[in-house]
Amino acid sequence: MSAFSKFFLTSISLLFVLFSSCLDAERSDSNAPAGLLVGDAQRLIPWPSSVELRGGAPWVFDLRQIQAELDLSDEADDRWGAEGYQLEIDSAGAHITAATKAGLFYGRTTLRQLRPTLCEGDPGCPNGYALPALIIEDAPSFSHRGLLLDCCRHFMSVDFVKHTIDALALHKMNVLHWHLTEDQGWRVEIDAYPDLTLVGSQRINPDGTPHGGYYTKSQIREIVAYAAERHIEVIPEIELPGHSRAALAAYPWLSCTGDTLPVANRWGVFKDIYCAGNDSTLAFLRAVLDEVVELFPSTRVHIGGDEAPKVRWEACPKCNARIAEEGLHDAHDLQRWFIEQMGEHLATHGRTIVGWDDILEGGLPRGATVQSWRGMAGAEQGVALGADVVVSPTSHCYLDYPLRSTDLEEVYSFDPAPPALQGGPGHVLGGECNMWSEHAPEHLVDSKVYPRAIGLAEVLWSGRAHTARTGAYDEFLARLDGHYPRLDALGVNYGLETVPVALTLAPASATEGSGLAATVSAAMRQISGEVSWRTSGGETSLGPLDTPFTVQGLGELQVQLTHRGKPASEQESFFVAAHLGAFSDLVLDYEPSQHYTAGGLQALVDGRRGSLDFRDGAWQAVQGEPMIATIDLGSAQPLERLSARFYHYQDAWIFTPSQIHWSTSLDGNSWTSASNWISPAMLAPDSVQDIRSHSSDDMGGRLARYVKMEAVNAGPCPDWHAAAGQASWLFCDEIVVE
């Protein structure tokens, strides 16, 4: 609720008052409080399109057509706040009042949302259109409403960054948190250290392809100015002390070991970080920050601070000397000291720092704002210590996560300032959604960001008083329906709201014959699709969603999805094994990890196989244990082959088994070996992420009722591994009996 609602409740006449959300336009139509709507709210207000737009930028209104007034009175700040506004539309036109230019901008943005979508593009506004007569008084609940854009894992063009700024502005977001330095790429030109971009902006991907790019100072100034015109502050993130491999590749003397390392081309957390004992490293970072603050006028600079392993510091004579000289407790305290050095330097430029919640590990660095990402615990700790906090927990705000982890409804349900964060002495400035780009090159980013970021925009602008109401989400969806065409007009390649389709599998009935009965059904609004079945023998069309069919053998159900009449940006597929053992009884001698059950204790015979994404819900896993599983086929059957697939991804501590033993039985008591496979050795380091299949020997029709798989865990991660000595994971998707 806006702070100044009381002001207008006395003066309703032919107008209605409502409280704006980030999507005002449709809200005014669909959610006008009926009791307040008097007379004819829809009036035709003719505005010639020829003067409607200026310079082809549809979001910059020509103020000749709208009266906009800065309230310069003494009470103005109290009345409107830093970003609030009043928008009044009647037959005389539109009138916006605010205490600040930002407020006027948000008033114009609301007006923009009220105008026809046609006004967004060519040929522009029609020569007269209806607008509701209304008064909106509006102000945001949170002052920090942001999106993190990671342009390091994948470089993104200047045009794309501007496109993102445009979309943020449409949704009244006011912060672009621009992630500019990482292990996998340094993206900001620094005159004093040219190798940061010459060397550090380029990498060779594991498949041999080069990837790189950086922003020149002039491009950065252009982007910062473009954002400022839209009342968006660009906060640069210069990661330290960790996530710094690209800088170390350019200048190896910045690290503890001085080793020459390439720009990282794998994802994850790396041991080599800036040396905190080396004065030259500190001087380097101060010089970098001097150039950064010259480019970015933001009051805060994000210094990262997350995921900085301390192994190098603990072994480094210089870092240990620093700990001793400064009277620090340990490496965590050294991190606090290190970040404070940066904070003190930035303070000489009149700036403060923001850091990920990891910066609390050695105690809150003086003056730091804390960005909570590992849940809300960091925010709670920060608030208790008197810090400002920004919230972006993985539970609700990570837009690189798939929809099955975080869908639109989940984002919309986010509470940025629950009671635990309201007791002070610090407070919540607002939140961000985080778009990390490990798995999202530029062309996929929109489909991950929208519509979920629009949900978060509404949470941050309108606050829980609005979004937690009964029915609020359905209202939001109804307004979103009217908003999608505007996104289309602006070239926003939005994705889906939730997991779009669901697969059900069951044993085929007697009339259906052998195989599995399957249905792929729609699980989202405005979705349709065509299903096909692809096997090594070819592809068969199975018809539209919700059509039941029967499949035989091993293959992939592919779904070509259509969302709102257009091909969806991502297609769905399911890997299915219609085999002899599917839906038989299964007994496990282990308890699957609760994070990777694949759906339950029968998951290894449910007909679903996994994809290359080991989090897709079809993989079952255990850590540090073997997988021993026994299938009861119900009656003796002639068998040709037994097989299972295992996931391989060393970076995620997932190893294929060291041994697999297959055996069969007629009675469940006496067992006959079918084959035994032994891994040659613990595999050498690689960054491969793939699926490895293991089969028994040809069984030549051997009769058996029971089948047993014993897959031996590979053991602790080997010495060469980043997690040497830790228990490794074993992942299996299905035991296939043929």
Q: Kindly list the residues in this chain that would bind Zn ion in the complex (CB under 5 A).
A: 256, 275, 277, 316, 318-319
* Cα distance between residue 471 and residue 671, in whole Å: 59
- Residue 549 contacts by C-beta under 8 Å, 6 or more apart in sequence? 517, 518, 519, 531, 533, 542, 543
Minimum CB distance to ligand ACM, residue 715 (Å): 29
Identity of the residue numbered 228: A
Q: Which is nearer to ligand ACM, 306 or 616 (CB)?
A: 306
Minimum CB distance to Zn ion, residue 275 (Å): 3
Q: Which is nearer to Zn ion, 277 or 355 (CB)?
A: 277
Contact with ligand ACM (CB under 6 A) among 29, 222, 306, 442: 306
Contact of residue 319 among ligand ACM, Zn ion, none (CB under 5-8 Å per partner type): Zn ion
- Residue 556 contacts by C-beta under 8 Å, 6 or more apart in sequence? 533, 534, 535, 573, 574, 575, 576
Q: Is 307 in the site for ligand ACM (CB under 6 A)?
A: yes
Helix (H, G, I), strand (E, B) or coil at 281: helix
Minimum CB distance to Zn ion, residue 81 (Å): 47
- Are the CB atoms for 493 and 563 separated by under 8 Å? no
Minimum CB distance to ligand ACM, residue 411 (Å): 16
Contact of residue 178 among Zn ion, ligand ACM, none (CB under 5-8 Å per partner type): none
Q: Is 461 in the site for ligand ACM (CB under 6 A)?
A: no
**SS3 track for 630-660:** EEEEEEEEEECCEEEEEEEEHHHCECCCCEE
- Are the CB atoms for 186 and 291 separated by under 8 Å? no
Cα–chain center distance at 137:
32
Helix (H, G, I), strand (E, B) or coil at 621: strand
Q: Is 415 in the site for ligand ACM (CB under 6 A)?
A: no
Minimum CB distance to ligand ACM, residue 339 (Å): 15
Long-range CB contact pairs, 198-205, < 8 A, 24+: 198/250, 199/249, 199/250, 199/263, 200/246, 200/247, 200/249, 200/250, 200/263, 201/155, 201/246, 202/263, 203/246, 203/262, 203/263, 203/264, 203/265, 204/262, 204/265, 205/265
* Cα distance between residue 464 and residue 580, in whole Å: 52
Minimum CB distance to Zn ion, residue 253 (Å): 11
- In sign, the C-alpha dihedral spanning 402, 407, 408, 413 is negative
Site for ligand ACM in 416-435 (CB under 6 A): none
Tokens of 241: 């002390």
Q: What are the counts of helices (DSSP H) followed by strands (DSSP E) for the chain?
A: 18, 39
Contact of residue 373 among ligand ACM, Zn ion, none (CB under 5-8 Å per partner type): ligand ACM
* Cα distance between residue 709 and residue 657, in whole Å: 12
Q: Is 632 in the site for ligand ACM (CB under 6 A)?
A: no
Q: Which is nearer to Zn ion, 334 or 577 (CB)?
A: 334
Q: Which is nearer to ligand ACM, 148 or 642 (CB)?
A: 148
- The residue written with tokens 């080991």 in the block is 614
Contact of residue 306 among Zn ion, ligand ACM, none (CB under 5-8 Å per partner type): ligand ACM
Measuring CA to CA, how many Å separate 275 from each of 310, 331, 335, 343? 10, 11, 10, 17
Q: Which is nearer to Zn ion, 232 or 247 (CB)?
A: 247
Minimum CB distance to ligand ACM, residue 374 (Å): 8
Contact of residue 356 among ligand ACM, Zn ion, none (CB under 5-8 Å per partner type): ligand ACM
Minimum CB distance to Zn ion, residue 320 (Å): 8
Site for ligand ACM in 210-239 (CB under 6 A): none
Between strands 300-304 and 233-240, the pairing is: parallel
Minimum CB distance to ligand ACM, residue 356 (Å): 5
Q: Which is nearer to Zn ion, 257 or 560 (CB)?
A: 257
Identity of the residue numbered 439: H
Contact of residue 314 among Zn ion, ligand ACM, none (CB under 5-8 Å per partner type): none
Minimum CB distance to ligand ACM, residue 391 (Å): 12
Strands (E) across 384-473 are located at 388-391, 427-435
Contact of residue 439 among Zn ion, ligand ACM, none (CB under 5-8 Å per partner type): none
Burial letters for 468-477: b for 16+ Cβ neighbours within 10 Å, e otherwise?
A: eeeebbebbb
Q: Which is nearer to Zn ion, 259 or 690 (CB)?
A: 259
Contact of residue 410 among ligand ACM, Zn ion, none (CB under 5-8 Å per partner type): none
- Are the CB atoms for 312 and 275 separated by under 8 Å? yes
Minimum CB distance to ligand ACM, residue 311 (Å): 18
- In sign, the C-alpha dihedral spanning 607, 613, 616, 620 is positive
Question: What single string gives the DSSP state of each residue in 332-353?
Answer: HHHHHHHHHHHHHHHHTTT-EE
Contact of residue 401 among ligand ACM, Zn ion, none (CB under 5-8 Å per partner type): none
Q: Which is nearer to ligand ACM, 356 or 649 (CB)?
A: 356
Q: Which is nearer to ligand ACM, 304 or 362 (CB)?
A: 304
Residue 112 CB coordination number (10 Å): 19
Contact of residue 307 among Zn ion, ligand ACM, none (CB under 5-8 Å per partner type): ligand ACM
Determine the size of the site formed for ligand ACM (CB under 6 A): 4
Q: Which is nearer to ligand ACM, 304 or 515 (CB)?
A: 304
Minimum CB distance to ligand ACM, residue 354 (Å): 11
User: Which helix (H) or strand (E) is 465 found in, with range?
Assistant: helix 464-467
Q: For residue 538, count CB atoms less than 10 angstroms from its CB and return exposed for 0-12, middle for 13-18, buried for 19 or more.
A: exposed
Minimum CB distance to ligand ACM, residue 445 (Å): 16
Residue 203 CB coordination number (10 Å): 23
Measuring CA to CA, how many Å separate 603 from each of 138, 500, 588, 729? 51, 22, 10, 17
Q: Which is nearer to ligand ACM, 79 or 179 (CB)?
A: 179
Torsion-angle region of 701 (φ positive above 0: left; ψ -120 to 50: alpha; else: beta): left
Minimum CB distance to ligand ACM, residue 19 (Å): 33
- Are the CB atoms for 203 and 184 separated by under 8 Å? yes
Minimum CB distance to ligand ACM, residue 357 (Å): 8
Instruction: Tell me the residue length of the chain.
Output: 738
Q: Is 270 in the site for ligand ACM (CB under 6 A)?
A: no
Contact of residue 275 among Zn ion, ligand ACM, none (CB under 5-8 Å per partner type): Zn ion
- The residue written with tokens 């759906």 in the block is 599
Q: Which is nearer to ligand ACM, 214 or 356 (CB)?
A: 356
Question: What single string gives the DSSP state of each residue in 350-367?
Answer: T-EEEEEGGGGGG-PPTT
Contact of residue 168 among Zn ion, ligand ACM, none (CB under 5-8 Å per partner type): none
Q: Is 438 in the site for ligand ACM (CB under 6 A)?
A: no
Contact of residue 256 among ligand ACM, Zn ion, none (CB under 5-8 Å per partner type): Zn ion
Site for ligand ACM in 336-395 (CB under 6 A): 356, 373
Contact of residue 156 among ligand ACM, Zn ion, none (CB under 5-8 Å per partner type): none
Q: Is 59 in the site for ligand ACM (CB under 6 A)?
A: no
- Residue 634 contacts by C-beta under 8 Å, 6 or more apart in sequence? 584, 585, 705
Q: Which is nearer to Zn ion, 103 or 242 (CB)?
A: 242
Q: Shortest Cβ contact with ligand ACM: which residue?
A: 306
Q: Is 651 in the site for ligand ACM (CB under 6 A)?
A: no
Q: Which is nearer to ligand ACM, 307 or 344 (CB)?
A: 307
Q: Which is nearer to Zn ion, 273 or 435 (CB)?
A: 273
Minimum CB distance to Zn ion, residue 259 (Å): 12
CA proximity to 229, closest of 301, 169, 146: 169
Site for ligand ACM in 544-563 (CB under 6 A): none
Q: Which is nearer to Zn ion, 254 or 642 (CB)?
A: 254
* Interface residue list for ligand ACM (CB under 6 A): 306-307, 356, 373
